[in-house]
Amino acid sequence: MAVTVTLEPAGRCRWDEPVRIAVRGLAPGQPVTLRASLRDEKGALFRAHARYCADAAGLLDLERAPALGGSFAGLEPMGLFWAMEPEEPLMRLVKRDVQTPFAVELEVLDGHEPEAQRLLGRAVHERDFLAPGVRREPVRAGRVRGTLFLPPGSKPFPGILDLFGSSGGLCEYRASLLAGHGFAVLALAYFRFEDLPEHLNDVCLEYFEEAVDFMLQHPKVKGPGVGLLGYSKGGDLCLSMASFLKGITATVVINACVANTLAPLCYKDMIIPELSYDLKKYTITESGFLNFVDIWGNPLEKTNHQSLIPLEKAQGPFLFIVSMDDHNWKSEVYAHIASERLQAHGKDRPQIIYYPGTGHCIEPPYFPLCRASVHAVLGQPVFHGGEPKAHSNAQADAWQQIQTFFHKHLNGKKSVSPSKL
């Protein structure tokens, strides 16, 4: 009997959806090694492997069979995806072109690595970033630069602005996936993209005000306000937007500071200085990576009071996604400061979700952990933290929590469909 690899659902599925992998036609109890690999748009190779044994009927079902070792161990049906590691160290898996899928090659080898050599079967699984009917529309409106993703349907949808961090450019993959869950999402660039400023020092809050107005005036965006989703530097920008701009209904920040960081932020006749930092306080890990978590000043110290973002001015609720092994920002401390400040001003405390063992770079589900990467400006490897399994579990849960929060506050829904995990 020929060995076959089957996938459910068959054919393409979304990157943030689980897939069931099974191997049929094996001998009873046969030891095998499964390998998964993909190449990104620049040709960088990412791969994972795990050792298994078929059951008494010669079937291997990854939802029932625990991995016996390899890139991970235990019952992990999606382990071959989240446990991938780059062939070249310090590479981070990102999707640069959301209009094409990632093609994941799955191979079954006889025996257990490193002895496993004979190829028994293979399959190619395509995982895409645009749900059926989701439209991708480049945005070049006034000064605003980005990409708008619109779900299928004639009615308007709750709108979200999605901001990434201090590397700049335009990242679309989170926005494109989120649009598949019923949101109109603007992936917003704010520097180092086309004719936008090259440096953060030249970015002002009026730019984001224009982006909010663009969304609220769009016929496919349901008002009266929009949501904000920001990661790292994009997170503190979202906090500033929520505090100073009109039309913000709900805000989610992922591992962000409660003070303005990295560059002064101007708005009309006001300047918010950046949080102080001392580069001499960096440390170096055993692997030789830079650890920046201790370089930042305390936002509560008198010298940094002007950099603190006045969250109490915001009109809507906050959700803080906090990695407890974040080695870029003291995210846990900052979330606590936010909670204390809001309550001191008679406001509702924010929703805070803490994830142990989780590093700085929280992505949609099944993206592998990036423990360290080369800094876009410094050109040096920077440590982000995290452990693969805990990080993967956190990403899956945070993705559901973000959707639930936005559906509740932008759409009046109490919950989303539960995770298939």
What kind and span of H or E run contains 284?
strand 283-284
Rounded to whole angstroms, the Cα distance separating 261 from 276 reads 8
Rounded to whole angstroms, the Cα distance separating 301 from 149 reads 41
Beta bridge partners of 128: 14
Question: Taking CA 215 as the corner, what is the angle to CA 228 and CA 208, rounded to the nearest 5 degrees?
Answer: 60
CA distances from 357 to 162, 233, 389 (A): 25, 21, 9
DSSP line for 239-283: HHHHHH-SSEEEEEEES--SB--SS-EEETTEEEPPPPB-GGG-E
What kind and span of H or E run contains 215?
helix 205-217
Instruction: Please enumerate in sequence order all residues whose Cβ is within 8 A of that of 411, keeping only pairs 6 or more positions apart, or say none.
Output: 158, 182, 222
Rounded to whole angstroms, the Cα distance separating 143 from 4 reads 53
**Active-site entry in 176, 232, 243, 373:** 232
**Active-site entry in 128, 162, 236, 326:** 326
Say if CB 307 and CB 260 are below 8 A apart: yes
Token pair belonging to 24: 């049929």
Residue 340 backbone dihedrals phi, psi, to 5 degrees = -65, -40
Rounded to whole angstroms, the Cα distance separating 365 from 403 reads 13
Q: Give the closest residue to 217 by CA, choosing from 142, 267, 153, 162.
A: 142
Catalytic status, residue 409: no
How many angstroms from the chain centroid is the CA of residue 364? Answer: 5
Which amino acid type is present at position 53? C
Rounded to whole angstroms, the Cα distance separating 47 from 66 reads 19
Catalytic status, residue 360: yes
Residue 332 DSSP SS3: helix
Catalytic status, residue 326: yes
Rounded to whole angstroms, the Cα distance separating 113 from 37 reads 16
**Active-site entry in 327, 360, 391, 409:** 360
Which amino acid type is present at position 15? W
Active-site residue list = 232, 326, 360
